[in-house]
Amino acid sequence: MRKKQKLNRRDFIKLSSIASASLPIVLSGFPIFANEKPKEYSFTTDNDNILVLIQLQGGNDGLNTVFNLNQYSNLQSVRSNIIIPENELLTVDDVTRFHPSMAGIQKVWEQEKLSLIQNVGYPNQNRSHFRSTDIWNSASSSEVTISSGWIGRFFNENHATFPENYPSPENPHPFAITIGKIVSETCQGPSANFSMALNDPDNPGTALVSNAGEIPNNCYGDALSFVNETVSQTNAYADIIINASNSGNNLSDKYTSSDLAEKLKHVAKLISGGLKTKVFVVQIGGFDNHDNQVVEGETTTGKHAALLQELSEAMFAFQDDLELLNIDEKVIGMTYSEFGRRIRSNAGFGTDHGTAAPLFVFGTCVKNQILGDAPEIDAQVDEKEGVQMQFDFRNIYSTILTDWLGATKAESNTILFDEFDSLPIFKQGCSAALSSENFSLEKLKINLFPNPTMDFINIEFIGNNEQVKFTLYNTTGAVVKEITNKKYTAIKHTLSIDIKNLAKGNYFVHYQSKGFSKTKKLLKY
């Protein structure tokens, strides 16, 4: 007799197209593969922190989201058909401005609950939506393909037997929830997804299998067995979710009727109702604006403006609700998008796939700050050039894992496949484990000379008795050369780098050491 093999979600998806005709399944509320449950995880009094991920699908144009007045003139010259008039921008600090549709996020900033992290990306940026999304969700490098997600691996660290025998009396709550129809790939574990998909907390529904007879011993039977297990878990979670929804509340009157606002409203209600779910994922799509990103002649309006307004209003209402519900100190939110857009706009009043972009982390426990330098804009920028990375997105993930979710540094290194320094994102007294309080990019001085140059470049910097990595990138985010990666003593150092064989054009020298990152532009002529 053939030994049966357990299917995971990915296997089931592959089989479902051929097996669907023989699976008489009636579903109400959940997709059939969405309810793989958490392993044994319970909240503790010292860490009941919750993470809300807001995915901006399509590639958000960071240069039309956050502006720097010192770079505005050059940006205007390369984006003359889509640039927002300077007098329409919303004030953040002396030189930083927000898009005029972002009044809600501006209020979160004024309430001192927002970290703006500049120029977030990864080396060798892939400009495919699907591949870059996979990279962000899996936290892999761009050179390898990983089938699991970073949140899924976090859960799997201590719960490797999942999903057997869950929910249990000791652990009755779903571990992660995606508000929508499809579970998030961020929560995909090595063998099963730790998330479940939920459209309406007030009516989660149940899933019923009409075939209760003998299950055939073939691929169709394997699929049906997987569905049966998933369905039973779905039904068990339904009452828990309904109870939380009935017990919960929304107190803010700031919510609009937008899709994202409704999703975040559901999240706040479930948390206030006592649902002990650790991670929530919501999405907002439509950011792939190759054309008509703005309305011609009315650049403050258009598709991107509407999306930023929806995001901004939803974030503000959600944070307001959390505070009124008195649950704000245990919830943070983070936005992310697969890539930014190119620096130069196109003729269709839009922007094409780029590289790095700003990222927002918000919440009562989040430091109010701008981390990183404003993107450097060249008035003669190549049409394919994107914003150069300053922070690897896995630096933010590492920070959230250790300082918010309570992972050890060793666990974070395993989850992210490498060691990534944490950033000072959280306020003292709020986080599980605090990163450095002495983080100051202003203290980091890196000089390049001569610049422009023809044959060689000198890099002058002060060591810090820590590992220092210098990497040379081209304007598309590809690694050209790893200059050095070793420990440097706390004295002045000068590296002389031969670049005679490089093609003429712009390059970027990227510095990284112990949570510090900085990017300097280099011109080879």
Structure confidence at residue 163 (pLDDT):
75
* CA distance linking residue 133 with residue 137, whole number of Å: 6
Note the pLDDT tens digit of each residue in 327-369. 999 999 999 999 999 999 999 999 999 999 999 999 999 999 9
Residues 424, 457 within the same domain: no
Q: Which of 383, 408, 436 is the last residue of a domain?
A: 436
For residues 170 and 296, state if they share a domain: yes
Could you tell me if 134 and 75 lie in one domain?
yes
CA distance 259 to 507: 41
Give the mean model confidence (pLDDT) for residues 453-475.
93
> Which among 382, 403, 436 is the end of a domain?
436
Other beta carbons less than 10 A from residue 33's beta carbon:
22
* Cβ 39 vs Cβ 163: under 8 Å: yes
Question: Phi first, then psi: what are they for 214, rounded to 5°?
Answer: -65, 135
Residue 472 belongs to domain spanning: 443-524
Among 308-312, 378-382, 505-509, top mean pLDDT goes to 308-312
Q: What is the C-alpha separation between 389 and 391, in angstroms, rounded?
A: 6
333 and 477 share a domain? Answer: no
Structural domain ending residue among the three candidates 436, 451, 468:
436
For 295-334, how does the pLDDT look when each residue is reduced to its tens digit (9 = 90+)?
A: 999 999 999 999 999 999 999 999 999 999 999 999 999 9
Q: Are 416 and 337 in the same domain?
A: yes
Kindly state whether residues 186 and 323 are assigned to the same domain.
yes
Query: Is residue 261 situated within a structural domain?
Result: no
Buried b (16+ CB within 10 A) or exposed e, 184-194: bbbbbbebbbb
Q: Are strands 25-27 and 66-68 parallel, antiparallel or unpaired?
A: unpaired
Total number of domains in the chain: 2
Same domain, yes or no: 381 and 497:
no
In the prediction, which pLDDT does 161 show?
A: 81
Whole-model pTM? 0.84
In order, the DSSP letters of 83-114 are: PPPGGGSEESSSSEEE-TT-HHHHHHHHTT-E
Token code pair at residue 458: 């000198």
467: which 2 tokens?
Answer: 């590992």
CA dihedral 458, 460, 466, 470 (to 10 degrees): -40
Statement: residue 213 has pLDDT above 70:
no
